[in-house]
Amino acid sequence: MLHIDYTASQPLHQQIEEQICSLIATGMLRPNDWLPSVRQLATDISINPNTVQRAYSSLEEKGVIVSVKGRGSFVSPDLSAIDRIYTKNIDSMLREVITKAALAGWSKDRIYSEFSKVLEEEATQK
Amino acid sequence: MLHIDYTASQPLHQQIEEQICSLIATGMLRPNDWLPSVRQLATDISINPNTVQRAYSSLEEKGVIVSVKGRGSFVSPDLSAIDRIYTKNIDSMLREVITKAALAGWSKDRIYSEFSKVLEEEATQK
Amino acid sequence: MLHIDYTASQPLHQQIEEQICSLIATGMLRPNDWLPSVRQLATDISINPNTVQRAYSSLEEKGVIVSVKGRGSFVSPDLSAIDRIYTKNIDSMLREVITKAALAGWSKDRIYSEFSKVLEEEATQK
Amino acid sequence: MLHIDYTASQPLHQQIEEQICSLIATGMLRPNDWLPSVRQLATDISINPNTVQRAYSSLEEKGVIVSVKGRGSFVSPDLSAIDRIYTKNIDSMLREVITKAALAGWSKDRIYSEFSKVLEEEATQK
DNA sequence: GTGGTCTAGACCACA
DNA sequence: GTGGTCTAGACCACA
């Protein structure tokens, strides 16, 4: 089941997308597993079916899931798309924060040690 | 002088804010230095004065600059605010990307080595 | 026996149609050969009889097979229909991709060489 | 101006997408050129603004255009995305038709000569 | 019952 | 004025 935050600034359709990607990336959902139908999921998380449809369409266009009229939606048998998406996203986020640090005049060492610090904090927190 | 990129998706007011912060953080602008007036800067970079005003107000609220009615704006004598802002921002960006990687099932080692890789790429590129 | 791919986005009735056409075109099924009954085939490939019926009806309409009430269906004695269908389909697919390339500003030479490249790739792959 | 076919089976949002891509690929629209606003285009082609929005969003996600709140939408300064999309699309269409011909028992020579024939027909037609 | 498209209309952020 | 999100509801194809 997905956890939607209705107060977050992140669009609902993106939250759905990300959580499904995460479930697949972590193996909770596996290739060819069935996803809840658009209407079912919409009911479950009290959201408009159009919004779920939008998330599913986007995931299909990216090759993460496959949707078929009359039959439903399921995880793509091929996981390569999702791997590529994650690496691409994380790389661009890293690039962004590194650029930010450079603009703040931070040395390579400083950004490196800040990263290590935050990584440890996050690791122990969980 | 600031470089505004109209083709960027980042809001104009944020671009102004960030560039002023960056000028201060890297020592190009120093404590108590005068900033151009809202109207002057708006004219210089061909932008709506409201947009510049919004950037200045935000910077003042954060304690980065000080505005005095009738006299103009100058860099805050105290640089601690801007340091705090950068550290806070960078930390939250790092936390975000680390969380993203965790949701993708990446190990601590993997995210660490991806960070190193991207950092080296960015460093050599410049 | 037909191979139905439930993970494909192509409708099931079309998969059945195409495979029967392919069996005939390649000589695996010959003129006047009997086809399994709608119910038999539906059972064999675990599919709704309506879906098989739809495929058979469409094939009959096109003159590829002949169905006789109470006796079943068999491959049309005349193979010209299926030849025409394939040529028509392939031509229209070729026309479509050529139009697409034209809209992208590709020269005749470029589309020609791209076709050759892909054709060689596919040929060696099999 | 775009030419929308309301009777076509192809979704309206896709028609918009394709035509904008084509205008860019053929140089009618150039990097950084402004596109009509979502509402303006919707009015021009008598279509719901949501449908135009959907096309624009999709184009932005693919890196073909850039959209900015409050400022409008324009052709991405970088044309590499659109080149990649076209090559990928055309290749997959070619692959599809070649596979189809193979299933029909066509030899490499036959599909090759059919392609040449259709290409010439299309070329002289225009 | 599935997925998918489209319209109509409200509402928000940015300039 | 821009772009962008979301809901509500109609309608279609496929199984």
Chain B residue whose CA is closest to D70: B11
A56 nearest nt, CA–C1': E3
CA–CA–CA angle A116, B26, B80 (5° rounding): 70
**Which residues of A are less than 8 Å from C11 in CB distance?**
68-70
User: Closest chain A residue to C9 measured between Cα atoms?
Assistant: A68
* Interaxial angle between packed helices C80-103 and D12-25, expressed in degrees from 0 to 180 and rounded to the nearest 10: 60
Residues of chain D contacting C108 with CB distance shorter than 8 Å:
119, 123
pLDDT value at residue B101? 95
B17 strand E contact, CB < 7 Å: no
* Inter-chain CB proximity D21 and C96 less than 8 Å: no
User: Which chains, if any, share at least 3 CB pairs under 8 A with chain C?
Assistant: A, D
- Average of pLDDT values for A36-60? 97
- Name the residue with the least CA to C1' distance from nucleotide E1: A70
A30 touches chain C (CB under 8 A): no
- Distance measured from the CA of protein residue A36 to the C1' of nucleotide F7, in angstroms: 21
d(CA C32, CA C65): 9
User: Is the pLDDT score of C126 beyond 80?
Assistant: no
List, for residues D95-110, the tens digit of each pLDDT value: 999 999 998 889 999 9
Which residues in chain D touch residue B9, judged by CB atoms under 8 angstroms apart? 66-68
| Structure-token match 């007036």, residue found | B37
pLDDT score at C101: 95
Q: Tokens in use for B55? A: 């950037």
Are A69 and C11 inside 8 Å of each other by CB?
yes
Nearest CA in chain A to C6: A71
Residue D126 confidence (pLDDT) above 70:
no
Cβ distance of A74 and C11 shorter than 8 Å:
no
Q: Which residue has the tokens 């739809």?
A: C54
Asked if C104 lies within 8 A of D90 by C-beta distance, the reply is yes
Give the pLDDT band (50/70/90) at residue A126. Answer: low
* 8 Å CB contact of B11 and D70: yes
Give A68 CA → F14 C1' in Å. Answer: 9
Residue A77 identity (one-letter amino acid): P
Q: Is B11 on the interface with D (CB under 8 A)?
A: yes
C-alpha–C-alpha distance, residues C42 and C53, integer Å:
9
The ranges of chain B with pLDDT < 50 are none
First to last CA, chain B: 21
Q: CB-based contact (8 Å) between B6 and chain D?
A: yes
Give the pLDDT confidence of D35-61 residue by residue, as tens digits: 999 999 999 999 999 999 999 999 999
CA distance A112 to B122: 13
Asked if strand E contacts A57 at the CB level, meaning under 7 A, the answer is: yes
Measured between beta carbons, the chain A residues lying within 8 angstroms of C7 are: 32, 66, 74, 77
For C82-112, how does the pLDDT look when each residue is reduced to its tens digit (9 = 90+)?
A: 988 899 999 999 999 999 999 999 999 999 9
Q: What is the pTM of this model?
A: 0.86
Report the pLDDT averaged over residues D13-39.
96
Per-residue burial over D16-51, b if 16 or more Cβ lie within 10 Å, else e, is bbbbbbbbbbeeebeeeeebbbbeebbeebebeeeb
Determine the distance between B4 (CA) and E14 (C1') in angstroms.
Answer: 16
Residues 57-116 of D with CB under 7 A from strand F: 57, 60, 67-73
Mean of per-residue pLDDT scores for chain A:
94
From chain B, pick out residues whose CB is under 8 angstroms from the CB of A118.
91, 94-95, 98
DSSP β-bridge partners for residue A67: A73
| Model confidence at D111: pLDDT above 70 | yes
Whether C104 contacts chain D with CB within 8 A: yes
Q: Which nucleotides of E are covered by protein (CB under 7 A)?
A: 1-9, 13-15
Average pLDDT over residues A50-73: 96
Structure-block tokens of residue B31? 């404590």
Is residue A27 pLDDT above 80, yes or no? yes
pLDDT digits (tens, 9 = 90+) for C38-95: 999 998 888 888 899 999 999 998 899 999 888 889 999 999 989 888 999 999 999 9
Region label for C5, one of left (φ > 0), alpha (ψ between -120 and 50) or beta (otherwise): beta
pLDDT in the model for residue B98: 95
Structure tokens at C47: 């599919």
Predicted confidence band at C6 (pLDDT cuts at 50, 70, 90)? confident
Q: Do D122 and C111 touch (CB under 8 A)?
A: no
Residue A70 (CA) to nucleotide F12 (C1'), in angstroms, measures 12
CB-defined contacts C:D, below 8 A: 97
What residue in B sits closest to D68 (Cα-Cα)?
Answer: B9
